[in-house]
Structure 1
Amino acid sequence: MSIDVSYLTDRAGATGSTAKTASNELDRQAFLNLFVAQLKYQDPSSPMDTSQMMAQTTQLSTMESLEELTSTARESFALQMRMSASELVGKQVSWTDEDGTTQHGTVSGVSYSGAVPIVLVGEEQISLNSVSFVATPGGPSELPADDSSDS
């Protein structure tokens, strides 16, 4: 199972994320421009109802709060992935390679250079979302020693 983590890439370095950020800014700016235009061109004999004005202001505030909450949730998920990857060091893992063969080995390190942490098993670099099984060495569910291939 693969997890979509494309939103975790650096916003300045990834065109997909940059476009999304620009779109969010455009939405916020467009909302403000429309609101100001509405106030500017309103009929002086029948001005905008203050409850409508408050409702629109509240909508803008809510939208900004939701954007901040989404950003915080993404950062939290990225941190959880990093913590999970670091906890795999010294544990046995299984994954399926490009040939469809299930491989086993002991994690010796973790790389955080990409959006998804990479666990190091011998010379192999396995994406965290490719790990299908984890066992503690010496534990009751440890992989058999003859099946282990610390690549």
Structure 2
Amino acid sequence: MEVTAANSIYYNPQDKLQPVKKELDKDAFLQIMVAQLRYQNPMSPVDQNQFMTQITEITVLEQIMSLNKNMELLLRTQELSLSANLVGRQVTVTGEDGVEVEGTVEKLLFSENGVKLVINGATYDFNAIKEIRG
């Protein structure tokens, strides 16, 4: 009878590994709480106050996540509003190479990465603005 190696093609523990999460999200928190309830000792059930504290923590977590999403939307709206007023104005920006460029904002480009300014035919980040002139 032939014995094959444990690391043969039939057994590969690398296939079973899942990526490690660096922070706990709402789903992980809920899974932990459900596991606590499922495997609690029937002779010593979870304290009502502790359970309510956990429910409150979930609610607070959801509200913080919602607040964060709204703040990101507000920041993007403010950036769009500020950048719309720049078209046709003279600005100084710093390029990726660190060289300052002066010119008129010709147009704006909007993407998931933020607002881009087109100056003298070249594209610059909104955050690269150093000076705005009338």
Q: How does 1:14-25 map to 2 (within 5 A)?
A: none
User: Bigger radius of gyration, 1 or 2?
Assistant: 2
Does structure 1 residue 29 correspond to structure 2 residue 27?
yes
Equivalent residue pairs, number: 115
Assess, with a 3 A threshold, how the Cα gap between structure 1 residues 109 and 62 changes in structure 2: closer, same or farther: same
Residue aligning to 1:132: 130
Point out where structure 2 has 5 or more consecutive residues left out of the alignment: 1-18
RMSD: 2.3
Assess, with a 3 A threshold, how the Cα gap between structure 1 residues 117 and 68 changes in structure 2: closer, same or farther: same
Q: Deviations over 1:41-70 (max 9, x none)?
A: 222222211100000011111111111111
Residue aligning to 1:107: 105
Query: TM-score, normalising length from structure 2?
Result: 0.73
Q: Identity over the aligned pairs, expressed in percent?
A: 31
Question: Helix, strand or coil: the match of 2:111?
Answer: coil
Residue aligning to 2:45: 47
Question: C-alpha distance in 1, partners of 2:104/2:56?
Answer: 53
Q: Deviations over 1:90-127 (max 9, x none)?
A: 21101233554432111121111341211122312221
Point out where structure 1 has 5 or more consecutive residues left out of the alignment: 1-18, 137-151
Assess, with a 3 A threshold, how the Cα gap between structure 1 residues 96 and 41 changes in structure 2: closer, same or farther: closer
- Identify the structure with bigger relative contact order (alpha carbons < 8 Å, sequence gap 6+): 1
Structure 1 residue 23: Cα displacement: 7.0
